[in-house]
Amino acid sequence: MNRPINFLLFLLFSSITNFAQFAPPAGQEGTTAIHKDSTVFIAWANSVFVQRGYLDISLPDSGFVSFGEEQNAIGAADNMIVSLGDGGYAILSFDIPLANGPGPDFAVFENAFTDDFLELAFVEVSSDGDNYFRFPAVSLTQTQTQVASFGTLDATKIHNLAGKYRIEYGTPFDLEDLSNTQGLNTDSITHVKIIDVVGCIQDEFASYDSEGHKVNDPWPTPFASGGFDLDAVGVIHNITNAGIIQNV
């Protein structure tokens, strides 16, 4: 008696997981994209350390990416970038610690030239500079076929991954997502870490989201400018405007 109902529930669940679930590209109704000139930004990262990643992680002898200067990632978003390469990362710090205010607390800018050619990165934060905690990212992009080097993605299948939006539009992150995380003070975030997603779907090189899905994005990208291209990190809330009382 229950089999038809169970089958219908299965079809419904499959439909939900296969269709768009998250915010659409910049300029569309329901987007969460924030333009670089928005008045919500009160500060920008002022220091950065970059560890470059491989041109092609499956060919370590190919060397590392080299495009852009580290300093391109500090200050306001200006379309000047530093490329991270396969698995590369950047650690950014700020004059004043970030804090958990209402809504998104900071945004990460990449330089995608269209709404669907997207290179992604995980985002982590730290309140001590040593221990980092990752935002719960979700990628619902299919994982049966590799997204090619110049392939495209659907932003509505991506959540909590930097690079979701095109050039000049930041992807927002809400520290509330990490509230009550042991070892993290979301009212005193000193560092933000941006880690390139290796978009390869081969098991030995794949990156995984918070739900165990492989994150499929354009790969390989064996160019000097391969991987995530970091432009800037803009601050929306820090301890000066989030109602945080500091001990003196």
pLDDT digit string (tens) for 10-25?
Answer: 343 344 445 559 999 9
159/209 Cα distance (integer angstroms): 10
In a domain, 130, yes or no: yes
Write down the pLDDT at residue 99.
99
- Average pLDDT of every residue of the chain: 93
Whether residue 109 lies inside any domain: the answer is: yes
Using a pLDDT cut of 70, give the percent of the chain over it. 90
pLDDT value of position 2: 45
pLDDT at 231: 99
Chain segment 93-145, per-residue pLDDT in tens: 999 999 999 999 999 999 999 999 999 999 999 999 999 999 999 999 999 99
Residue 243 is predicted with a pLDDT of 76
pLDDT in tens, 33-83: 999 999 999 999 999 999 999 999 999 999 999 999 999 999 999 999 999
| pLDDT, position 55 | 99
CA distance 56 to 200: 10
∠ CA(234), CA(238), CA(243), 5° rounding? 145
Whether residue 22 is contained in a domain is answered as no
Q: Which two three-digit tokens encode residue 232?
A: 């800037």
In a domain, 124, yes or no: yes
246 is a domain residue: no
In a domain? residue 191: yes
Phi and psi at 15, nearest 5°, equal -65, -45
Question: pLDDT value at position 36?
Answer: 99
Give the C-alpha separation, 199 to 14, whole Å: 24
pLDDT in tens, 130-143: 999 999 999 999 99
Domain contains 11: no
Residue 242 has pLDDT above 90, yes or no: no
Question: Quick check: 239 pLDDT over 70?
Answer: yes
The answer to whether residue 31 scores a pLDDT higher than 50 is: yes
**What's the pLDDT score for residue 20?**
53
Range of the domain at 101: 32-235
Residue-level pLDDT at 17: 44
Residue 227 CB contacts under 8 Å (≥ 6 apart), including other chains: 53, 65, 83, 84, 85, 86, 87, 88, 119, 196, 221
In contact, 83 and 229? CB cutoff 8 Å? yes
pLDDT(7) > 50: no
CA distance 220 to 69: 22
Please give the helix or strand (H or E) that residue 15 lies within, else none. helix 3-18
Residues 6+ apart with CB under 8 A from 76: 36, 41, 44, 232, 234
Residue 156 has pLDDT above 50, yes or no: yes
Domain at 103, CATH number: 2.60.120.260
The tens digit of pLDDT for each residue in 160-192 reads 999 999 999 999 999 999 999 999 999 999 999
19 or 203: which carries more pLDDT confidence? 203
Residue 4 has pLDDT above 50, yes or no: no
- Across 68-175, the runs of DSSP E, i.e. the strands, are 82-83, 89-98, 106-109, 121-126, 133-134, 138-139, 158-159, 169-173
Q: How many domains does the chain have?
A: 1
Pick from 127, 108, 115: which is nearest to 197 by CA? 108
CA angle (36 as vertex; 33, 40 as ends), nearest 5: 80
Say if 98 falls within a structural domain. yes
Rg, Å, the chain Cα set: 18
